[in-house]
Structure 1
Amino acid sequence: MPARWVAAMPALFVAIWCTGFVVARLGMPHAPPITFLAIRFALSSACFGLWVLGSGAAWPDTPRQWAHLIVLGLLTHALYLICGWAAVKQGMGAGTMALIAGLQPLLTAVWLHGRGAERLRGLQWLGLLLGLAGLLLVVGRKLGQGELGALNLSLGIAALLAISIGSLHQKRFVGPCDARTAMLIQLLAATALSAALAPLEQEPLDWGPELAIALAWSVLALTLGGSSLLYLLLQQGAATRVASLMYLTPPCAALLAWALFDEGVGAQVWLGMGLSALGVFWVLRKP
């Protein structure tokens, strides 16, 4: 892969990934979350299937690798998105959900440091703490205003745990392999789980322009673009530094949610964004 593409991947990933829960905010008034995601995963699987067939991409060569990719798909696609989109369905703002998911770098860093897998230096710890402080400042103004409740907060935390555990699972167990077939296996696993759970929902789909836009963006940009970039980034870098990119997605998501849905952005939010950006800089810089 050309060096200029590798250098551009983090910025492109952030630009795409920050739209994830904004799209949920757009689509969830018109669809139950699991049904929507089952359709999204099925269409994404079809797209990747055609890509794999047309390119002759290599498949994983061991049953163990297949199993680890299936687990990764269930965690970072199915459970993460089902819980996160359900939280938005239950009234959580898109920016707030993105902020909760943005706590992943701290969990990743603390876990890897405790295991001795990746040692953090002083400024890196300070960067992680600054990022966390920025996230808390942004989400703090939502507390007590009726947006956060026991149900949607629990769903948001479950989404955070799913993406964090999934990222750690990939680093520890998933070896290098073709990203196209790896993504197809993960998406097929996510399709199977969401399709099995979808009949539990009673709400019908309300087809219209907003739902169609949300579905198209979810498949073409988020799954084919964002998820593939995340997989490649995790393969190429240290997990803590890659995960710290997530600190940039909540401020971007908050800005989009403000522009599209009038989710409030005040001085406290701007301060939180600045602290998060500074935290990212310190975590990503080489010791």
Structure 2
Amino acid sequence: MQLSTLAPILFVLLWSTGFVGAKLGLPYAEPFTFLWVRMVIVVGLLTGLAALLRSPWPRGWVLNLHIGISGLLLHTGYLGGVFFAISRGLPAGLSALIVGLQPILTAILAQFLLRERVSRVQWVGLLLGFAGVGLVVGEKALSARLLSIEPPAFVAIVLALLCTTLGTLYQKRFAVQMPLVGGTVVQYIAASVGLFVMSLLFRETMQIQWTQPFVFALVWLVLVLSVGAILLLMYLIRHNSASTVASLFYLVPPATALEAYFLFGERLGGWALLGMGLAAVGVALVVRR
């Protein structure tokens, strides 16, 4: 099977584990501190990988600036917003629902910013995918009003939605030709600086409880998410339209729901199963040739 065929499937499976990692690790570290440590480790690993593969590095301060900005949006903005929102009481399912607006928002903005054409069939697919996401996490969204959620959590998750949307578009517009490994290192360097600044602004203590669940979550997020999934995302952005790449995020909440069912025993009802089917059909309509 070719990488172009396998990459979307692998990306969804890997990316969907991010909420599981957050759920495991956040009780033992503050959100920006957690992410900053993760980024610093990833920078070291990918720098070594770039040297081993003799990967080219981005040349010119303009390209490096564009890559750094996309890194701040995709990692500091998106991940920081999601982790902060979850740490302030927002359920992972409701977070996924709000961030699940990304494909619609990306498709709308891509028409104006990238001059990408979205066909009628693709619009139907985007709407079906969003409906499917809504069904999968709808029960959690309804139950969220019974929980104690701090207002900043909603602000953070909306900012995360905007950052991941703008980051995808910015990457496609200004940094799509960046060297894959070397460019990703530059993104993570910018993100680590941004996350360190955020930890200072929010006066985090930067204390970590190095428990077994936290270490497992950290290792998983570093290797599986920040190395494997992000390199796949950069590959997909390079070889596909922004709307096509964004549509894959519709499959993330259903995949996360399945993982939560097997790992944490969270029940999957009939509406959730129907939503998974709708999301899959929606993505198939968007990405079809």
Equivalent residue letter for 2:252: T
Separation in 2, partners of 1:70, 1:262: 40
Q: Post-superposition shift, 1:115?
A: 4.8
1:34 to 1:99, Cα distance in 2 relative to 1, 3 A: same
Q: 1:282 aligns with which of 269, 275, 285?
A: 285
What per-residue deviation string (whole Å, max 9, x for no partner) do you get for residues 12-37 of structure 1? Answer: 11110110111101111111111111
1:262 to 1:96, Cα distance in 2 relative to 1, 3 A: farther
Q: 1:21 aligns with which of 14, 19, 22?
A: 19
Q: Post-superposition shift, 1:144?
A: 4.2
Q: Post-superposition shift, 1:141?
A: 2.2
Q: Classify the secondary structure of the residue corresponding to 1:141.
A: helix
1:261 to 1:171, Cα distance in 2 relative to 1, 3 A: same
What per-residue deviation string (whole Å, max 9, x for no partner) do you get for residues 186-230 of structure 1? Answer: 000111111223241137311111000000001111011001110
Match of 2:84 in 1: 86
TM-score (norm 2): 0.92
1:165 to 1:119, Cα distance in 2 relative to 1, 3 A: same
Separation in 2, partners of 1:59, 1:99: 37
Equivalent residue letter for 1:235: R
Identity %: 38
Equivalent residue letter for 1:223: S
1:185 to 1:280, Cα distance in 2 relative to 1, 3 A: same
1:126-165 to 2 correspondences below 5 Å: 126-145=124-143, 146-147=146-147, 149=149, 150-165=151-166
Match of 1:246 in 2: 249
Separation in 2, partners of 1:115, 1:223: 27
Equivalent residue letter for 1:109: A
Structure 2 segments unaligned to the other structure (5+ residues) = none
Q: Classify the secondary structure of the residue corresponding to 2:141.
A: coil
2:175 pairs with 1:177:
no
Equivalent residue letter for 2:70: L
Structure 1 segments unaligned to the other structure (5+ residues) = none
What per-residue deviation string (whole Å, max 9, x for no partner) do you get for residues 221-245 of structure 1? Answer: 1011001110111001111111111
Separation in 1, partners of 2:30, 2:180: 30
Match of 1:166 in 2: 167
Separation in 1, partners of 2:176, 2:271: 42
What per-residue deviation string (whole Å, max 9, x for no partner) do you get for residues 86-137 of structure 1? Answer: 1111222333323322221111111123457122222111111111112222
2:230 pairs with 1:232:
no
Q: For the Cα contact (< 8 Å) 1:65–1:175, is it kept in 2? A: no
Equivalent residue letter for 2:11: F
Q: Classify the secondary structure of the residue corresponding to 1:142.
A: helix
Q: Post-superposition shift, 1:264?
A: 4.2
1:259 to 1:175, Cα distance in 2 relative to 1, 3 A: closer
1:130 to 1:193, Cα distance in 2 relative to 1, 3 A: same
The answer to which of 200-209 and 214-223 deviates more is 200-209
Q: Post-superposition shift, 1:270?
A: 1.8
Q: 2:218 aligns with which of 215, 218, 236?
A: 215
1:37-56 to 2 correspondences below 5 Å: 37-56=35-54
Match of 1:186 in 2: 187
Separation in 2, partners of 1:43, 1:171: 26
Q: For the Cα contact (< 8 Å) 1:95–1:257, is it kept in 2? A: no
Aligned length: 284
Q: Classify the secondary structure of the residue corresponding to 1:171.
A: helix
TM-score (norm 1): 0.93
Q: For the Cα contact (< 8 Å) 2:93–2:140, is it kept in 1? A: no
What per-residue deviation string (whole Å, max 9, x for no partner) do you get for residues 47-97 of structure 1? Answer: 011112222221112211000000011010111111101111122233332
The answer to which of 245-254 and 149-158 deviates more is 149-158
**RMSD of Structure 2 on Structure 1 (CA):** 1.8
1:148 to 1:233, Cα distance in 2 relative to 1, 3 A: farther
Q: For the Cα contact (< 8 Å) 2:89–2:153, is it kept in 1? A: yes
The answer to which of 137-146 and 35-44 deviates more is 137-146
Separation in 1, partners of 2:182, 2:114: 31
Equivalent residue letter for 2:263: L
